[in-house]
């Protein structure tokens, strides 16, 4: 019996003249395991969205077998894991995110807890169940997205490049589990959309798609017997990325360092910073992000690969080396300020047309005219996204793989001495990965220092040197004795003022800190009631003496949460300019009282006792409010915020207003704020790297400097909102 079938399905995205899929017809039987294989831009992701109802075809028919729609044993008819990991996280902690789907379909608490534990264990993140999702690496987020969909127990599972950013050992573990998961229930159907041939061979049947049309639909045995199909999809040599000319690991006689990290230590969670050397062992056993005591020298003319499982510290080293993170201790020097191609490409594109986007960095360097065009052409050609073919393409119309290549070209166009690439081949098909590897080799031939991170062993073998990381430390280096000091001609790496970027990072991870305090230990609803009482009273009081006394009480309240006094002072100082502006308006607009003294007068501006009193009372109101907000958010994690709100709103159930929906709406608001902060941080990172964001002094200069951030952020806000909506639908909210 067919799980579903497609007949003559065609679809094109609005505003584009090219059909993403063209007249596609095929049938999938219930219980089949089918791989849909194709290169970047072939229409695979479009097909995945059509299959699961997220897109409606322009023409043709998609029919789902009727019994698929029933909810049996707390399962769902279909589940899809999308391509982009960070768009699929809906909750603050790993545990809450995995449980989100089962809760939506009405699973009992014991079933939800069992599924949450099982799938977090599957992806090797059970020990981090209470950690914040914002602190996960991109590969870990991809694993979490998969766990969240598996927890729904779908009868039809669609995987759209669902393990493309996961390290090899974990990828095998997940694929092995999926084999068992399907075999446990003969009615379960898997459609694995991929460009990885080894992943496709897990399936019983392979459907190959090229340029939106099906070119093969048969067993994997027939696919193996027909090598012309794989050659058409990915070009020659689709699996191996080795290239003899570039791969040759000849000994470099006169090594000159282009980048040196000396005793570099960095932790994302500063509360766990090392205080004593004797604590190192116990700390590293619970290591959740950063690097510890890293000393590495990277050499000119060499390609160096950084390998390790997700969260091992690869991206952290690259961001430290580029100056986007400041080390807690140690030093970083380079022959020139390194440029970094970030792993997430969507935030890296600013311009409407591809060539203009690649030109963004060189323009900021002062280049124009024919020299600029030639620089852009060379960069696009070396990044395997030919200028002649793609220069006038709109960036929004590019596939995910094409966007990645344009982002890489934008970094190459900066003409630097030190190039850093974070997972440059993630999400690319074998042919494109081969091209990117050759690109790295070509840069090294030019004498550049090239460092890239990867999960793929064949890419590590491709490099002149491979460094393996685990828990933020080097555990293997194929070039022994290369970690000495080579400081000659090197200068410290820094990016200037990173305060705005650091502020956005703080926003994305929230204000909550796990500590033992009087306020932390209260029940969620009690925390809410105390906060509301302190906040509202502090705003409402008008008697000066009562307000002074209550402001002191608010200060005691914030101290009871163990909120750092230094952070409270910094928060208050950030508000001072606005307080001063508000005070100025009060002096201008607030009228004098009858017969009161005038301390100072100029034209129509006066300073009187009533105006001073008003300013002081305003200051006390703000102090009380800041103390209340700081103590509440510092002592209350997101899960408590939502649980407390649900309890307080419970009486509304009696009049037909569902408290759980109020809590869920609030959770989405809490979730979207850090999403936007994370998006802004990504854009600022790329702007800094490509010279488009230069922190300056003065209000007007800062406003002018922020303008290039607004348009990309607005566009990305709409995209992320749409992606969040799709994620909620995929989790059956």
**What is residue 707's predicted lDDT score, i.e. its pLDDT?**
64
Kindly report, residue by residue over 207-236, the tens digit of the pLDDT.
999 999 999 999 999 999 998 898 888 875
Over pLDDT 70: what percentage of the chain? 87
pLDDT for 170 equals 85
Query: Are 491 and 511 members of one domain?
Result: no
Together in a domain, 333 and 439? yes
Listed residues 471, 495, 519: the one ending a domain: 495
195 contacts 29 by C-beta, under 8 angstroms: no
Q: Which of 126-135, 538-547, 635-644 has the highest mean pLDDT?
A: 538-547
pLDDT of 493 strictly over 80: yes
- Kindly state whether residue 730 falls inside one of the protein's structural domains: no
10 φ, ψ (degrees, to nearest 5) = -130, 140
Q: Alpha-carbon distance 730 to 715, whole Å?
A: 23
In a domain, 293, yes or no: yes
Position 443 confidence tier, pLDDT thresholds 50, 70, 90: very high
* 428 and 557, same domain (yes or no): no
pLDDT score at 719:
79
Please compute, for residue 515, the number of CA atoms within 13 A of its CA located in the half-sphere on the CB side: 19
**Domain range holding 90?**
2-238
Confidence of residue 183 (pLDDT cuts 50, 70, 90): confident
Asked if pLDDT for residue 277 goes beyond 60, the answer is no
- Which pLDDT score, from 0 to 100, does residue 230 have? 85
Q: Residue 413 pLDDT > 50, yes or no? A: yes
Domain assignment present for 659: yes
**Does the pLDDT value for residue 45 go beyond 60?**
yes
Bigger pLDDT: 431 vs 242? 431
Distance between CA atoms of 345 and 385, rounded to whole angstroms? Answer: 15
Same domain for 480 and 615, yes or no, is no
Q: Which residues does 198 contact at the CB level (< 8 Å), separation at least 6?
A: 239
- Residue of higher predicted confidence among 67 and 358: 358
Does 594 have pLDDT greater than 60?
yes
pLDDT at res. 596: 81
Rounded to an integer, the average pLDDT of 415-435 is 90
What would the mean pLDDT of 263-290 be, rounded to a whole number?
57
Question: Does the pLDDT at position 2 exceed 70?
Answer: no
Q: HSE (CB half, 13 Å, CA atoms) of 594?
A: 0
In this structure, the answer to whether residues 163 and 28 fall within a common structural domain is yes
Determine the pLDDT at residue 295.
92
Highest mean pLDDT among 80-89, 557-566, 662-671: 557-566
Q: What mean pLDDT is predicted for residues 647-657?
A: 86
In the DSSP assignment, the letter for residue 593 is P
Per-residue pLDDT band for 503 (boundaries 50, 70, 90) equals low
201 — pLDDT class (breaks 50, 70, 90): very high
Say whether pLDDT at 252 is over 70: no
What band does 378 get if pLDDT is binned at 50, 70 and 90?
Answer: very high
**Could you tell me if residue 172 is inside a domain?**
yes
Based on the domain organization, do 332 and 375 belong to the same domain? Answer: yes
Q: What is the mean pLDDT of the chain?
A: 84
Residue 20's SS3 state is: coil
Instruction: Kindly state whether residues 52 and 98 are assigned to the same domain.
Output: yes
Looking at residue 313, the DSSP 8-state letter turns out to be S
**Is the confidence at residue 243, as pLDDT, over 70?**
no
Instruction: Lowest mean pLDDT of 379-393, 544-558, 701-715, name the range.
Output: 701-715
CA dihedral (717, 723, 726, 727) positive or negative? negative
The answer to the question of residue 250 being in a domain is: no
**Number of structural domains found in the chain:** 3
395 CB-near residues (< 8 Å, 6+ apart): 349, 351, 352, 353, 354, 357, 403, 406
Identify whether the C-beta of residue 332 lies closer than 8 Å to the C-beta of residue 261: yes
Give the pLDDT band of residue 347 (cuts 50, 70, 90).
low
pLDDT score for 237: 53
Show Cβ contacts of residue 234 under 8 Å, excluding neighbours closer than 6 positions. 39, 195, 197, 429, 430, 431
263 vs 291, 452, 580, CA distance in Å? 10, 20, 45
Nearest one of 405, 483, 423 to 459, comparing CA atoms: 423
- As a whole number, mean pLDDT of residues 583-594 equals 76
H-type helices in 359-429, by residue range? 360-364, 369-382, 387-390, 400-412
Predicted confidence at residue 279, as pLDDT, reads: 41
Tell me how far CA of residue 508 lies from CA of 312, 665, 671, 688, in angstroms: 21, 18, 9, 19
Q: Is residue 244 part of a domain?
A: no
Is the domain of 98 the same as that of 228?
yes
Average pLDDT estimate for 396-421: 90
Residues 80 and 155 in one domain: yes
Return the higher-pLDDT residue of 30 and 603: 30
Q: How far apart are CA 671 and CA 665, in angstroms?
A: 10
Last residue of a domain, one of 472, 495, 518: 495
SS3 for 495? coil
Residue 509 has pLDDT above 90, yes or no: no
Tell whether 247 is covered by a domain. no
Q: What is the CA radius of gyration of the chain?
A: 28
Is the pLDDT confidence value at 331 over 80?
yes
Q: What is the CATH number of the domain that holds 155?
A: 3.40.50.300
98-113 confidence digits (pLDDT tens)? 999 998 898 999 999 9
Q: Are 559 and 482 found together in one domain?
A: no
> Would you place residue 203 in the very low, low, confident or very high pLDDT band (cuts 50, 70, 90)?
very high
Beta strands in 18-165 (DSSP E): 21-29, 33-37, 59-64, 76-81, 154-160
User: Which strands, in side-by-side order, build the sheet including 59-64?
Assistant: 21-29, 2-11, 59-64
Strands (E), 108-166: 154-160
Percent of the chain with pLDDT over 90: 43
Q: Are residues 314 and 213 in the same domain?
A: no
pLDDT number for residue 702: 61
pLDDT band at residue 497 under the 50/70/90 scheme: low
Can you tell me the distance from the alpha carbon of 527 to that of 529, in angstroms, rounded to the nearest whole number? 6
pLDDT (tens digit, 9 = 90+) per residue, 666-719?
A: 777 666 767 777 778 888 888 888 887 665 666 566 666 666 667 777 777 777
The domain boundary residue, chosen from 495, 516, 550? 495
228 and 118, same domain (yes or no):
yes
In a domain, 727, yes or no: no
- Please give the model's pTM, rounded to 2 decimal places: 0.78
Question: For the residues 434-451, what does the mean pLDDT come to?
Answer: 92
**Whole-angstrom Cα distance, residue 679 to residue 541?**
39
Q: Which residue has the higher pLDDT, 58 or 168?
A: 58
From CA 213, how far away is CA 23, in angstroms rounded?
7
Q: Which of 28-37, 127-136, 678-687 has the highest mean pLDDT?
A: 28-37
| Residue 427 banded pLDDT, cuts 50, 70, 90 | confident
**pLDDT tops 80 at residue 486:** no
Does residue 646 register a pLDDT over 60?
A: yes
Among 70-79, 209-218, 421-430, 688-697, the range of highest mean pLDDT: 209-218
Confidence (pLDDT) at 703: 61
């Amino acid at each position: 019996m067919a799980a579903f079938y497609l007949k003559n399905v065609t679809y094109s995205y609005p505003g584009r003249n090219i059909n993403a899929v063209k007249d596609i017809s095929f049938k999938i039987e219930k219980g089949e395991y089918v791989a849909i294989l194709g290169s970047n831009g072939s229409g695979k992701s479009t097909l995945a969205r059509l299959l699961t109802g997220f897109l409606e075809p322009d023409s043709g028919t998609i029919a789902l077998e009727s019994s698929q729609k029933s909810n049996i044993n707390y399962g769902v008819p279909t589940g899809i894991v999308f391509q982009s990991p960070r768009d699929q996280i809906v909750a603050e902690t790993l545990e809450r995110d995995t449980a989100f789907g089962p809760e939506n379909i009405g699973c009992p608490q014991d079933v939800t807890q069992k599924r949450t534990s099982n799938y977090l264990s599957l992806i090797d993140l059970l020990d981090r169940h209470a950690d914040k999702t914002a602190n996960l690496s991109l590969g870990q987020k991809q694993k979490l997205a998969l766990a969240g969909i598996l927890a729904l127990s779908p009868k039809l599972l669609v995987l759209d490049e669902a393990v493309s950013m996961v390290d090899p050992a974990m990828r095998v573990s997940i694929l092995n589990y999926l084999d068992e998961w399907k075999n446990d229930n003969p009615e379960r159907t898997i459609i694995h959309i991929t460009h990885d041939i080894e992943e496709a061979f897990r399936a019983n049947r392979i459907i190959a798609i090229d340029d939106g049309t099906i070119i093969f639909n048969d067993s994997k045995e027939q696919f193996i017997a027909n090598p012309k199909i794989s050659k058409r999809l990915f070009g020659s040599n689709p699996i191996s990325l080795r290239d003899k000319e570039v791969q040759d690991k000849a000994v470099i006689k006169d090594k000159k360092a282009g980048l040196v990290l000396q005793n570099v230590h960095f932790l994302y969670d500063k509360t766990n910073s090392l205080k004593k050397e004797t604590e190192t062992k116990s700390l590293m056993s619970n290591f959740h992000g950063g690097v510890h005591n890293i000393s590495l020298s990277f050499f000119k003319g060499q390609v160096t690969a950084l390998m390790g499982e997700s969260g091992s510290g690869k991206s952290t080293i690259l961001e430290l080396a580029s100056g986007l993170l400041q080390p807690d201790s140690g030093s970083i020097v380079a022959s020139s300020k390194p440029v970094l191609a970030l792993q997430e490409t969507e935030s890296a594109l600013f311009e409407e047309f591809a060539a203009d986007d690649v030109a963004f960095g060189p323009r900021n360097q002062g280049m124009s005219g024919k020299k600029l065009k030639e620089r852009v052409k060379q960069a696009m050609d070396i990044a395997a996204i030919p200028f002649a073919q793609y220069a006038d393409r709109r960036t929004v119309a590019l596939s995910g793989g094409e966007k990645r290549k344009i982002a890489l070209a934008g970094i190459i166009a900066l003409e630097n001495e030190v190039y850093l690439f974070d997972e440059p081949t993630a999400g690319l098909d074998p042919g494109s990965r081969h091209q990117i590897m050759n690109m790295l080799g070509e840069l090294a031939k030019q004498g550049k220092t090239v460092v890239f991170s990867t999960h793929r062993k064949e890419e590590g073998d491709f490099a002149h040197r491979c460094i393996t990381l685990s828990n933020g430390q080097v555990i293997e280096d194929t070039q022994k004795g290369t970690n000495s000091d080579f400081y000659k001609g090197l200068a410290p790496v820094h990016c200037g003022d990173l305060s705005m970027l650091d502020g956005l990072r703080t926003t994305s991870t929230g204000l909550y800190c796990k500590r033992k305090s009087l306020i932390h230990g209260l029940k969620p609803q009690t925390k809410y009631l105390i906060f509301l009482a302190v906040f509202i009273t502090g705003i409402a009081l008008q008697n000066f003496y009562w307000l002074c006394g209550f402001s002191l009480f608010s200060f005691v309240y914030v101290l009871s949460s163990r909120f750092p006094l230094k952070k409270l002072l910094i928060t208050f100082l950030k508000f001072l300019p606005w307080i001063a502006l508000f005070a100025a308006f009060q002096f201008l607009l607030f009228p004098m009282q009858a017969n009161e003294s005038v301390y100072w007068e100029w034209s129509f501006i006066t300073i009187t006792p009533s105006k001073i009193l008003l300013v002081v009372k305003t200051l006390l109101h703000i102090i009380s409010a800041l103390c209340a907000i700081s103590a509440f958010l510092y002592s209350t994690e997101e899960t408590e915020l939502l649980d407390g709100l649900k309890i307080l709103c419970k009486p509304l159930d009696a009049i037909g207003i569902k408290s759980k929906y109020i809590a869920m709406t609030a959770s989405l608001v809490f979730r979207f704020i850090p999403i936007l902060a994370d998006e802004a941080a990504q854009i600022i990172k790329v702007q800094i790297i490509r010279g488009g964001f230069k922190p300056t002094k003065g209000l007007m200069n800062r406003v002018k400097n922020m303008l290039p951030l607004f348009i990309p952020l607005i566009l990305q806000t709409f995209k992320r909102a749409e992606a969040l909506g799709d994620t909620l639908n995929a989790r059956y909210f």
